[in-house]
Amino acid sequence: MEVIRSIRQMQEAASTVKRAGRRIALVPTMGALHEGHVALMRAARSKGAAVAVSIYVNPAQFAPQEDFKRYPRDLDADTAICKREGVDVVFAPTDEEMYATNASTWVEESLLSRRLEGERRPHLFGGVCTVVAKLFNICQPDIAVFGQKDYQQLCVVRRMVRDMNFPVEIHPVPTVREADGLALSSRNQYLTPMDRAQATVLFKALSVAQDLFNAGEINAHRLEAQMLRTVEFAPSARLDYAEIADAETLAPLHEVKRGDVALLAVYIGKTRLIDNLIL
């Protein structure tokens, strides 16, 4: 397995793979790899393509007060996982390599990005779209694999690919969870043992919404209120938002139908976690 740190080298490696007639599947990550990322790598491999994993904590998607500096980084452990999973290339650029100091071109999706996460974190999706567009130009994937864990990101990236005509197939992968339902996330490392115990309220709240919907409740407001009530039950938890939205446009809903998505963001102590479930 090759670990490439320069854009030029990565572009050359990608061109060589393409000339040999092989497709490329890209798994974009910010590192601190866990079983959720591994599921993405395995999905990429199952496509029969050469697998590239990018590992890059993208400064453009963090606001100044957010956790960019303390975001967990461990390139050695990450590359060991990639090697074990049969990844062909790890692309791990430095900040200097990725962004010129006077970089002045940004990619923005202007509709789906505005709600939910984008409303609370206005930097997020401009940063995500910019770095994903750059990674597509650098790694030249035919397929890009994204987790449903970051559901809004998946929707925004799909929209960008459609609108900008990137010749890339987006392949979604279901959320990988701990036995108690907590979605795996690099940010779970921030949780104290007490926080960790309470972090199960995210999945509990989503499951309450799912159960009520299955029992016939289709009023979005009432389902959202029950999610709030479930979250409030945990003393360290504070709800940021709990919403049911259209699975493609993320538009808010009054009446819920099968296939709509419940999304929530919750502070557990100081750690902000997100999760979602397709109803």
Residues of this chain that interact with ligand AMP (CB under 6 A) are 29-30, 36-37, 39-40, 146-147, 149-150, 173, 175-176, 183-186
Q: Report the nearest approach of ligand AMP to the CB of residue 148 (Å).
A: 7
Q: 57 vs 279, which CB is nearer to ligand AMP?
A: 57
Nearest residue (beta carbon) to ligand AMP: 147
Find the helix packing angle between 201-214 and 220-232, rounded to 10°.
150
Q: Which is nearer to ligand AMP, 173 or 223 (CB)?
A: 173
CB of 175 to ligand AMP, least distance (A): 4
Nearer to ligand AMP, 7 or 170 (CB): 170
For residue 207, the minimal CB distance to ligand AMP (Å) is 16
Of 77 and 225, which CB lies nearer to ligand AMP in the complex structure? Answer: 77
Q: Checking phi first, is residue 234 left (phi over 0); if not, alpha (psi -120 to 50) or beta? A: beta
- Which two three-digit tokens encode residue 100? 């010129």
Tokens of 116: 């939910």
For residues 248 and 234, give the distance between their C-alpha atoms in angstroms, rounded to a whole number.
Answer: 31
Strand 237-245: give its sheet, edge to edge: 237-245, 261-268, 271-278
Active-site option among 34, 37, 171, 221: 37
Nearer to ligand AMP, 210 or 226 (CB): 210
| 37: annotated active-site residue | yes
Q: What's the min distance (Å) between Cβ of 271 and ligand AMP?
A: 14
Minimum Å distance from CB 273 to ligand AMP? 11
Q: Which is nearer to ligand AMP, 115 or 149 (CB)?
A: 149
Q: Mind spelling out the 3-state secondary structure of the chain?
A: CEEECCHHHHHHHHHHHHHCCCCEEEEEECCCCCHHHHHHHHHHHHCCCEEEEEECCCHHHCCCCCCCCCCCCCHHHHHHHHHHCCCCEEECCCHHHHCCCCCCCCCCCCCHHHCCHHHHCCCHHHHHHHHHHHHHHHHCCCEEEEEHHHHHHHHHHHHHHHHHCCCCEEEEECCCECCCCCECCHHHHHCCHHHHHHCCHHHHHHHHHHHHHHCCCCEHHHHHHHHHHHHHCCCCEEEEEEEEECCCCCCECCECCCCCEEEEEEEECCEEEEEEEEC
To ligand AMP, the closest distance from the beta carbon of 42 in angstroms equals 11
Residues annotated as catalytic (active site), given as ranges: 37
